[in-house]
Structure formats: C-alpha cells, structure tokens
Amino acid sequence: MRKFTSAGLTLLSVLVTVKTQALPVFESKEVALYIQGYMTTHQINIQGNTELIDGASRLGFNLDVPAYKDWNVGFNIEWGLRLVSPNQQIIISGDQQAEPGEQQDPLFVRQGHAYAKHKFWGDFAVGKQWAVYYDVAHITDWYNVSGGLASGAFALGGDGGITGTGRADGALTWRKRWRALCGEFQIGLQYAAHVADLNIQAEGARGPDTLLVCPPEDCEYGISRGASLTYKVDIGDGLFIGTAYNRVNLDLHTKRGLLFDISDPAFPVLIRDDEVINASSNDFAFIGGIAYGRGAFQQGLYAAYNWHRSHNNELAPPSTTAGATNFFNAIGSESFISWTWGKYNCYSFYGGHNLLKSHDDEIFEQALITGDKYRLGYLFLGFQYQWNERVRLYVEGGIDDSNDVARSRGDFIAAGMRVDI
C-alpha cells in the first residue's frame, strides 16, 4: 500500500472573494487594505448523531498598491478557521479540507500569495493560491455544507495544494482576459516545483511478505504544470464554458530504499536499507464545465455541471488495498442548480450531486480488500434565506449513495448560519 503524507481587489483574488465580500479597512492614493471572509456554522445530524460544527469559515486580508505606470501589486493572505468545534472529526466539504498535517488545526493557511496585475500584460501571482484548474472547478462548488468532492480540485483528501488543482502550493500563475466573439475569454497558466515529499509503501513489491519503503526525502512531487481556458458568452443571463488540465511528475528515485519482512505485520523486520528504486509516474487531472445564469444564488436560474478524469489524483482510505497503492484513477462529476427569487433575491432552492468513481484502474480495483470499485456519491437538496446583504440562513441535506470502499459519512441534514464580513 502506498500512502501520501505531508481600485479594489485584483482578478487574482477574485476566486478568493467570489463567495465573500470585501470590506475596506483603509484606502488612499498609495494603498488599499481590505478584510474579507465569513463565519459559518451548522447543526448537523449524521448517522443519528447531532453536533454543532464549523463550516468552511475563513478570514483574509488583501493589500493593493498602485505601482509603476499601469501596474498594481499587492498580496493576499487567508486563514481557515475552526472556532466552534476545533476538534471536530466531521469534514464533508472539499473546500473545508486543509493541507495534510493541518486537518485538526483551529487556524490553518488557505492562501498566501503576492501578485502583480496589468490590463494589457495580465495578472501574475506567486505563492499559495487558487489553481487555474479551479477556474473551471469552482462553478459547482457553492453548497453551504458539503460539495466539492468529485471535481478533482480538492485532491488526496486535502485542499489540492500539493497536486496544484485546488489551493495550489508554491505556484506561479498567469491569467489574461480579453473580449472576443460576443464574450470574454480567459487563459490561465501555472507552474510549481517540488512542493511535497512522498511517503511510499508498497507491499509485495519484492516478493510475498515484503514491504518496500521509499524515504520521503528521496521520493517527491516534482514539476507541476497546469492550464485553463474559459469563455463567458453574452447569451441570456450568461453562459460559461471552460476546460483545464493539470499534471505533476512523481519522482521515485533512491538508493536508500528500506525493505522489510512483514511475515508478522505487528513486528516488521528490516532486511536491507540500500534497495534501489528507479521509477517515475505522474498525477494528472482534466476537467470540463458548463454553467448558465447570473451566478449561484443570484436572481433566476443558475445551473452548472462539470466532469473530470484523473490519474493518481485521488486517494482511497487507509487499509482499503493490499499489495498495491491506494492512489487510484478516477472519473467524477458535479452539478449545482439554484433558483432564486424575491425582492432582494432572498429565497433560494438549490440542489445537485457529487459522484466520484474509480475508473480504468485494474491494479487498484484488484487490490481492494472489500468490493471491486471505489464509489463516492451524494445527492444534495437545500434552501437558503438571505436575511440581509451579509447574513444567510440555510438548511441542506445529503443522501449518501457511496459504497463501503469510500467510507463516506452517510446521509445528513444540517441547518446553519453564515455571517460575511
């Protein structure tokens, strides 16, 4: 089994603020400082147990400085917050997930990057930020309680930082927009390198009852590249079409591999510490999406759908496989539909689905201890009341359609509140 360890806002921070509002703290001709984020919590009943838990709360700051000629530069920082129940074990939203090792921290880094933007040259950013892959994946990630489980963005049980598909770690991005053909195009390019080590363990790789381990400092996530293309068409209330691709090289090279005899799994015996491992692989994800409407929870209909395919981008729960890795190839789809009405767009019904399945991965599926496929599926239905510009109340339920391999949380019903800054 292989395990994994380890004047206003700019376009580059649009994905940060698209679900929140920014409040000016200080503005002058030289600098503008904004605070952004929200606090959300919900009472959830899941598998017969009722708990008060945190949602995907966050707090961030954006500093924007007019620079040389038409350039604007600045930085954006954002933290995730777990304040209501810091030790909670229930995580059912992809956007709520943190980096490996930070899942139980009450305060964790969501983003931290510097940027420079120019109307002609485009927008550059460096640091931890929304990936260009998420330029497409975000169109279905609007649920108040769950969601974001099947787009390939929040990969490996984390925030997609290491894979470069969610909140990408150590990334350099460039985005450029232009108008053409009755709409607006945007291209995004992304590069990252050596952002994390890999802790790889493979049973049976050197014969029965053996365990081969690659030292994390030798095996790593190597060069990562991504690209996206989106097109917003001026048709009706607005049509969005987009696609994105991300690829990471997995470097698996060492002369210090550890080979263990695991005849007695409770007491592994080191056979040698100079086993040669010379291999390479990759982690890739492709996504396509389409959406119609003014936006989620905006007046009228908003409908969005995306589909993705990935290789080594998803991770099954520990101890679900024997004799092979718990990385797997997957296909997934997500949908989100909202209907909003009222004088101030205060009433919304919404729903959709998330579905993630193992696909075209014979080695993984044969290695499963229970079952022959991985399947994580949810159907969602909810109602939202926008009390005022910054406060919303909501009820959201999920019907679990997963199999035993996914070890999902089960059906749930939740009622909660969100307060925006």
Return d(Cα 337, Cα 222) in angstroms, integer: 38
Yes or no: say if 96 and 108 are a contact pair by the CB < 8 Å rule.
no
Q: Which of 7-21, 68-82, 174-188 has the lowest mean pLDDT?
A: 7-21
Q: Looking at per-residue confidence, does 24 or 88 come out higher?
A: 24
Please report the pLDDT score of residue 194 as a whole number.
76
End-to-end CA distance of the chain: 45
248-257 tens-digit pLDDT: 988 777 788 8
Return d(Cα 308, Cα 248) in angstroms, integer: 16
What b/e sequence results for 120-156 when a residue is b if at least 16 CB atoms lie within 10 Å of its CB, and e otherwise? eebbbbbbbbbbbbbbbbbbbbbbbbbbbbbbbbbbb
Return d(Cα 38, Cα 58) in angstroms, integer: 6
The letter for the amino acid at 197 is: D
Side-chain half-sphere CA neighbours of 106 within 13 A: 5
Q: Looking at per-residue confidence, does 315 or 14 come out higher?
A: 315
Cα 28–chain centre separation: 35
pLDDT at 275 over 90: no
Write out the two tokens for 383.
Answer: 């109602």
pLDDT band at 409 (very low <50, low <70, confident <90, very high): confident
Return d(Cα 221, Cα 213) in angstroms, integer: 16
Residue 246, φ and ψ in degrees, nearest 5? -140, 140
Domains of the chain: 128-420 (2.40.160.10)
Yes or no: say if 358 and 336 are a contact pair by the CB < 8 Å rule.
no
Return d(Cα 377, Cα 332) in angstroms, integer: 9
Please report the pLDDT score of residue 43 as a whole number.
94
DSSP string over 129-152 = EE-TTHHHHGGG---SSSB-SSSS
Count Cβ atoms within 10 A of the Cβ of residue 282 and give its class: 0-12 exposed, 13-18 middle, 19 or more buried.
Answer: middle
Sign of CA dihedral 340, 345, 347, 353: positive
Which of these, 305, 325, 307, lies nearest to 317 by C-alpha position? 325
Yes or no: say if 30 and 63 are a contact pair by the CB < 8 Å rule.
no
276-320 tens-digit pLDDT: 877 777 889 999 999 999 999 999 999 999 999 999 898 888 878
Q: Looking at per-residue confidence, does 135 or 100 come out higher?
A: 135
* Residue given tokens 């905006």 in the structure block: 298
pLDDT at 103 over 60: yes
